[in-house]
Amino acid sequence: MASEVTRDGFEARVGVLEHEVESEKRITRYILEQTRRNGDDLPAVKTRLDRVEHRLDGVEQRLGGVERKDLAELSRDLVVERNGETLTWNLPKIVRCHAGGAPDGRSSKRCSAEPASKGAFMKRLLAILATLSVITACGSAAAARPFTDPRGERSDTIDQAAAMEPRDPACHARTLVSAGGAFPRNPHTLAVRWVGFSNFELVYNGRIILLDAYYDRGSEYPPLGVAASDIKSADLMLLGHGHFDHMSDAASIGARTKALLVGAAVTTDKLRTQPIPIQQIKTVTGRGDEMIKLDHLTVEPILGRHGEPAKEVTAVMDRALDEVMPPPTPEQKTESATIRSRGTNSPRVIDEGTIAYLITLDDGFRILYRDSGGRVTDYERAAMARVGRVDLALVAVSGDYINPLMVKLALEHMRAYKPDVIMPAHHDAPVTAGHVAQWRATEPLFQAMKDQNPDIVTVSKEYREPVCFNTEMNVQRGY
Ligand SMILES: [Zn+2]
Ligand SMILES: [Zn+2]
Cα-to-chain-centroid distance, residue 465:
8
Phi and psi (nearest 5°) for 379? -65, -40
Cα(157) to ligand 2 centroid in Å equals 38
pLDDT at 11: 64
pLDDT tens digits for the chain (479 residues)? 344 455 666 566 656 556 655 655 565 555 556 555 555 455 444 544 454 454 444 444 444 444 444 444 544 444 333 333 333 333 434 334 344 334 333 334 343 334 445 455 445 544 444 444 444 444 444 457 899 999 998 888 898 888 888 999 999 999 999 999 999 999 999 999 999 999 999 999 999 999 999 999 999 999 999 999 999 999 999 999 999 999 999 999 999 999 999 999 999 999 999 999 999 999 999 999 999 999 999 999 999 999 999 999 999 999 999 999 999 999 999 999 999 999 999 999 999 999 999 999 999 999 999 999 999 999 999 999 999 999 999 999 999 989 999 999 999 999 999 999 999 999 999 999 987 888 999 999 999 999 999 999 999 999 999 999 999 999 888 77
**Distance from the CA of 467 to the center of ligand 2, in angstroms?**
23
Helix locations, 106-221, DSSP H: 109-112, 118-142, 156-161
Answer whether 0.85 is exceeded by the pTM.
Answer: no
Q: Residue 372 C-alpha to ligand 1 middle, in angstroms?
A: 6
Burial classification of residue 375, based on how many CB atoms lie within 10 Å of its CB (0-12 exposed, 13-18 middle, 19 or more buried): middle
Query: If you measure from the C-alpha of residue 468 to the centroid of ligand 1, how many angstroms do you get, rounded to a whole number?
Result: 28
Domains of the chain (ranges; CATH) run 8-150 (no CATH), 155-477 (3.60.15.10)
What's the 348 CA to ligand 1 centre distance in angstroms? 11
C-alpha of residue 192 to centroid of ligand 2, in Å: 20
For residue range 238-275, what is the model confidence (pLDDT) as tens digits?
Answer: 999 999 999 999 999 999 999 999 999 999 999 999 99
Cβ contact 175:332 at 8 Å: no
Q: Residue 347 C-alpha to ligand 2 middle, in angstroms?
A: 14
Q: How would you label 2-24 residue by residue, b for 16+ Cβ within 10 Å and e otherwise?
A: eeeeeeeeeeeeeeeeeeeeeee
Q: Of 137, 128, 133, whose CA–CA distance to 95 is shortest? A: 128
- Rg of the chain over CA atoms, in angstroms? 28
Helix (H, G, I), strand (E, B) or coil at 237: strand
C-alpha 214 – ligand 1 centre gap (Å)? 12
What integer pLDDT is reported at residue 23 of this predicted model?
57
Ligand nearest to the CA of 198: 2
Query: Nearest ligand to the C-alpha of residue 197?
Result: 2
Rounded Cα distance, 286 and 374, in Å: 15
Helix (H) or strand (E) holding 475: none
pLDDT score recorded for residue 53: 52
The closest ligand to the CA of 396 turns out to be 2
